[in-house]
Chains A and B, each alone.
Chain A
Amino acid sequence: MSEQSEKNVAAIKMVNITKTFGGVRALDRVSFEVGEGEVRGLIGENGAGKSTLMKILSGVHTDYSGDMYIRGKQVRFGGTSDSLGCGIGMIYQELSVIECLTVAENNFLGIQPVNRAGVIKWRYMQKLAREHLKSLGIDVDVNLPLSFLSFSIRQMIEIAKVIFSGAQIIIMDEPTSSLSHAETGQLFKLVRTLKKRGHTIIFISHFIEDVMTISDSITILKDGKGVATLRNVQLSKHEVINSMIGVTKGHLVREADEIVELKSPDSDVIMEVKDLTKTGSFEDVTFDLKKGEILGLYGPLGAGQENVGKAIFGLKGYDSGMILLEGKLLRKERPYKKKNLGVAYISEDRKRSLFHKFELFKNITLPFLADVLGPKMNWIIKPKKEKDITNRQIEKYSIKTSGPEAVLNSLSGGNQQKVAIAKWLTIIPKVIIFQEPTRGVDVGAKAEIVEAIKTLKNQGLSCIVISMEPETILDLSDRVMIFSRGRVVSELKDTKTSKLKILEIA
């Protein structure tokens, strides 16, 4: 790959890329062009098509229509190895480095230098790895196993490894979501070094500020379409967000500046969270929850709000701070004790909270199995009670199924999500925590879930809704706490706000 002839040829040129998943159009004639040695930011809301586009570029998705050119040469990848062969490397949020191996071994993973007898040349490998990392400005002992190093260093080592294996184009998917402010700075230093060396970088992120700090220009995707590519010169955050969410025709999607009025009820406090801290995840989180209120905890990916929910229910620990329920201190107990105190938790991950091979009724009655036991022998399950409760929940939450005996797997994703909610409401808990209640469900199911949560509130239940989707937060909340990098940065109370404002604060 000689460098003279390609002065004016784009590093990446994707033309009219269309990709559908089972009838749903994820990308609609998107064109995307990045110049050699450019740092390009790629932003868009959840589901806008960023990952899909990048997965086509990195050879993960091979079934699409449209044309793709790398340094002027037309390509069509049959798999990730083709894309690697063309010098494209992707860094996912979940790193692919191996923690029990040393820095040098990771750098040479799969391409270890060996002598004639097939024995690894350790000295040579260490020397080369040291030189390579030094040239990228990464200062680390190459003989240390990765498990001794921080996430940010591991991430840089993964980037270095991809460069070492010959990648010219690096795609980074949400690289700053788990990094502190200082670590983000270090990563940016590395990105600038790479740019100086002529590498092309695509930087996908939810953190608009990060994108604006590092990118030469920014491409915005929306609903599977390319909206704009803006030169990052005197650009304001407001402008970027505006074109990212823009004006939509979909009736359930809010317009960016549509005013939503927040109004919290004048009732007593039911739960208090004081100075809750977990190092590396969230710090000094303080808020209270009133009776009959929906409190929204909003933050972008990795801002810490999701771990606060887990900490309240006892799924994750915390270092300091306290949680009070009706004035009584909650100990750092495991979920089964929290459940008995009246806290319910609806997990974001259906795979990890439901039983896909089991019947519907077994899923629904599990949290409060005590309710389906016999009156005299209170350790025997009464099948009739169990079926009755399940039928009641199926009707109440309009779950589409053939009956209580149906295996959970036979239900659609949206209906499974309703099961995840219904199973916690066979009795009336005091506080319900909803973790990403609308993630991965279609528009219709989303509306039904929003309706169900509102009904609960009207019955006097206190809810905490944790989400990184501003739509969901605004649809539901009476009051909003906004998280950024593990801290509560703002409380929106009895005020008018909009999606635009929320995104700007976070």
Chain B
Amino acid sequence: MNNQKINKTFIQQIGAWVKPRTRILAPFLTLVILALFFGVVTDSFLTLRNLENILEQASLLAILATGITLVLLLGEIDLSFANVASLIGIIMALLADREIGVGFVIPVCVFAAVVVGLVNGYVTAYIGVPSFMATLAMFQLSYGVAHYASKAIPIFTVPTLFAILGNKNLGFVPWVVICAIVIMGGTHFVLKYTRFGRYVYMTGGNREAAKVSGVNTRMVVTVVFIIAGVTSGFGGMVGIGRLGVAYDNSLNARLIDGIAAVVLGGTSLTGGEGSILNTVIGVLIWTCLGIGLNLMNISIYIRDLVRGIILLVALIFNIVVQRSVQVEG
């Protein structure tokens, strides 16, 4: 009798701790399960070398995914970020090819990224075009500009700074990991501790109520799209630095990776719920999945199919775990 009582309160205590943290624990559990699975079925997954590799690959995706995390927190979507990353990468390479110094290249690239974000944000927030369509237009537009500017010819000149950021280490730590930590850490701080971050969550949680409470919601949406433009632009520059060559579509395929990672991490598509921490986990899940499947030596023809199935299962798992805890409480 007494024992049961104690057990019950203990379970209740665990429940009380778990319940508000489900949104982060469910994807974390997915990550652990996935890592253990690949650790068992392959010899090389849980080796230091491979884990370092995962971290390095995840970092570039993480930089790209930071901006969309903010966009999704508002309940909006950005379909253009991967193409924007390619575009900014091409601009960087074109300028470097004409032997223009990095001190001029960076401001030009940042400016271009701000303009792209401003257009996305203004068209969405002030004109009222749904972000799905506005950023789909930007998706096409940024590819169009990149295609035109490069004439579809690869450019092999990359500023030394970004070649280093993409490939070299600072001691043991790859620069790209440091870049990701700085960008995600900064964004996490902004979201969690600043007035602007609070406005982002509140606007995403209930746009109407935020407006009635005197929040300039249009401005919040616009600024978030500008931040998304800048983080994807920076991701593009580091990404091209890493590849050493810029195509007009080098990073376009990252669109699916980025959105899949953010949502797998547990950030809600309807806004208001999620965080950078969720995106960190989501990015790790998605990268583990890619690398793990590579190591498993499955036929390359079937790999995408398996990845799709696991994505679907993981998404269902996230929802089921979150919902079951909510019902219990």
Residues of A whose CB lies within 8 Å of any CB of B are 315, 334-336, 338-340, 345, 347, 352-358, 362, 366-367, 369-370, 373, 379-381, 423
A345 to B272, CA, bound (A): 23
Size category of the B interface is: 20 to 34
Q: Map CB proximity to A onto B205-247 as digits: 1 under 8 Å, 0 otherwise.
A: 1101111111110000000000000000000000000000000
Is the beta-carbon distance between B212 and A362 smaller than 8 angstroms? Answer: no
Is the beta-carbon distance between B214 and A367 smaller than 8 angstroms? Answer: yes
In the complex, whether B193 has a CB less than 8 A from a CB of chain A is yes
> Nearest chain A CB to B187's CB is how many angstroms away?
14
A-B contact pairs, 17 of them (CB 8 A): A334-B216, A335-B211, A335-B214, A336-B214, A352-B209, A352-B212, A353-B213, A355-B209, A357-B273, A358-B201, A366-B198, A367-B213, A369-B199, A379-B194, A379-B195, A380-B193, A380-B194
Is the beta-carbon distance between B193 and A347 smaller than 8 angstroms? Answer: no
Q: Which of B194, B202, B273 contacts A366 (CB 8 A)?
A: B202
A369 to B208, CA, bound (A): 17
> Nearest chain B CB to A464's CB is how many angstroms away?
16
B-chain residues with CB within 8 Å of residue A366 when the two chains form the complex = 198, 202, 210, 213, 215
Name the CB-closest residue of B to A366: B213
A-chain residues with CB within 8 Å of residue B205 when the two chains form the complex = 355, 357-358
User: Given A335-B211, A381-B193, are A355 and B216 also a contact pair (CB < 8 Å)?
Assistant: no
A-chain residues with CB within 8 Å of residue B273 when the two chains form the complex = 357
Is the beta-carbon distance between B208 and A352 smaller than 8 angstroms? Answer: yes
- In B273-329, the 8 Å CB interface with A consists of 273
For the complex of A and B, the 5 pairs showing the least CB-CB separation, nearest first, are A339-B214, A336-B216, A353-B212, A352-B208, A336-B214
A352 to B209, CA, bound (A): 5
Is the beta-carbon distance between B202 and A358 smaller than 8 angstroms? Answer: yes
Given contacts A315-B212, A335-B214, 7 further A-B contacts (CB under 8 A): A338-B214, A340-B214, A347-B212, A355-B202, A367-B214, A369-B198, A379-B195
Name the CB-closest residue of B to A343: B214
In the complex, whether B156 has a CB less than 8 A from a CB of chain A is no
Is the beta-carbon distance between A373 and B198 smaller than 8 angstroms? Answer: no
> Nearest chain B CB to A444's CB is how many angstroms away?
26
A223 to B209, CA, bound (A): 33
Name the CB-closest residue of B to A338: B214
Is the beta-carbon distance between B194 and A336 smaller than 8 angstroms? Answer: no
> Nearest chain B CB to A341's CB is how many angstroms away?
10
Is the beta-carbon distance between A381 and B195 smaller than 8 angstroms? Answer: yes
> Nearest chain A CB to B244's CB is how many angstroms away?
39
User: Given A369-B195, A373-B195, A379-B195, are A335 and B212 also a contact pair (CB < 8 Å)?
Assistant: yes
Q: Map CB proximity to A onto B96-128 as digits: 1 under 8 Å, 0 otherwise.
A: 000000000000000000000000000000000
> Nearest chain A CB to B273's CB is how many angstroms away?
7
Is the beta-carbon distance between B213 and A381 smaller than 8 angstroms? Answer: no
Name the CB-closest residue of B to A352: B208
Is the beta-carbon distance between B216 and A354 smaller than 8 angstroms? Answer: no
In the complex, whether B37 has a CB less than 8 A from a CB of chain A is no
B-chain residues with CB within 8 Å of residue A335 when the two chains form the complex = 211-214
Is the beta-carbon distance between A379 and B196 smaller than 8 angstroms? Answer: yes
A-chain residues with CB within 8 Å of residue B212 when the two chains form the complex = 315, 335, 345, 347, 352-353
A-chain residues with CB within 8 Å of residue B216 when the two chains form the complex = 334, 336
Name the CB-closest residue of A to B216: A336
A353 to B214, CA, bound (A): 10
User: Given A345-B212, A352-B208, A423-B213, are A357 and B194 also a contact pair (CB < 8 Å)?
Assistant: no
> Nearest chain A CB to B329's CB is how many angstroms away?
11
Q: Which of B193, B196, B201, B215 contacts A336 (CB 8 A)?
A: B215
> Nearest chain B CB to A129's CB is how many angstroms away?
34
B-chain residues with CB within 8 Å of residue A367 when the two chains form the complex = 213-214
B-chain residues with CB within 8 Å of residue A345 when the two chains form the complex = 212
Name the CB-closest residue of A to B211: A335
Name the CB-closest residue of A to B272: A357
Name the CB-closest residue of B to A313: B212
Is the beta-carbon distance between A381 and B194 smaller than 8 angstroms? Answer: yes
A-chain residues with CB within 8 Å of residue B214 when the two chains form the complex = 335-336, 338-340, 367
> Nearest chain A CB to B39's CB is how many angstroms away?
37
Q: Which of B193, B195, B196, B206 contacts A355 (CB 8 A)?
A: B206
B-chain residues with CB within 8 Å of residue A355 when the two chains form the complex = 202, 205-206, 209, 272
Name the CB-closest residue of B to A423: B213
B-chain residues with CB within 8 Å of residue A347 when the two chains form the complex = 212
A338 to B194, CA, bound (A): 23
Name the CB-closest residue of B to A354: B209
Is the beta-carbon distance between A381 and B209 smaller than 8 angstroms? Answer: no
A-chain residues with CB within 8 Å of residue B211 when the two chains form the complex = 315, 334-335
Q: Map CB proximity to A onto B168-206 as digits: 1 under 8 Å, 0 otherwise.
A: 000000000000000000000000011110110110011
Q: Map CB proximity to A onto B250-288 as digits: 1 under 8 Å, 0 otherwise.
A: 000000000000000000000011000000000000000
> Nearest chain B CB to A433's CB is how many angstroms away?
11
Is the beta-carbon distance between A370 and B195 smaller than 8 angstroms? Answer: yes
A-chain residues with CB within 8 Å of residue B208 when the two chains form the complex = 352-353
A220 to B209, CA, bound (A): 37
B-chain residues with CB within 8 Å of residue A379 when the two chains form the complex = 194-196
Name the CB-closest residue of B to A407: B20
A366 to B196, CA, bound (A): 11
A184 to B198, CA, bound (A): 48
A-chain residues with CB within 8 Å of residue B209 when the two chains form the complex = 352-355
A352 to B211, CA, bound (A): 9
B-chain residues with CB within 8 Å of residue A336 when the two chains form the complex = 214-216
Name the CB-closest residue of A to B273: A357
Name the CB-closest residue of A to B210: A366
> Nearest chain B CB to A416's CB is how many angstroms away?
12
B-chain residues with CB within 8 Å of residue A362 when the two chains form the complex = 198, 201-202
Name the CB-closest residue of A to B212: A353
B-chain residues with CB within 8 Å of residue A352 when the two chains form the complex = 206, 208-209, 212
A363 to B27, CA, bound (A): 28
B-chain residues with CB within 8 Å of residue A373 when the two chains form the complex = 195
A366 to B198, CA, bound (A): 8
> Nearest chain A CB to B214's CB is how many angstroms away?
3
A423 to B215, CA, bound (A): 13
A369 to B202, CA, bound (A): 12
B-chain residues with CB within 8 Å of residue A380 when the two chains form the complex = 193-195
> Nearest chain A CB to B211's CB is how many angstroms away?
6
A339 to B211, CA, bound (A): 11
A120 to B212, CA, bound (A): 46
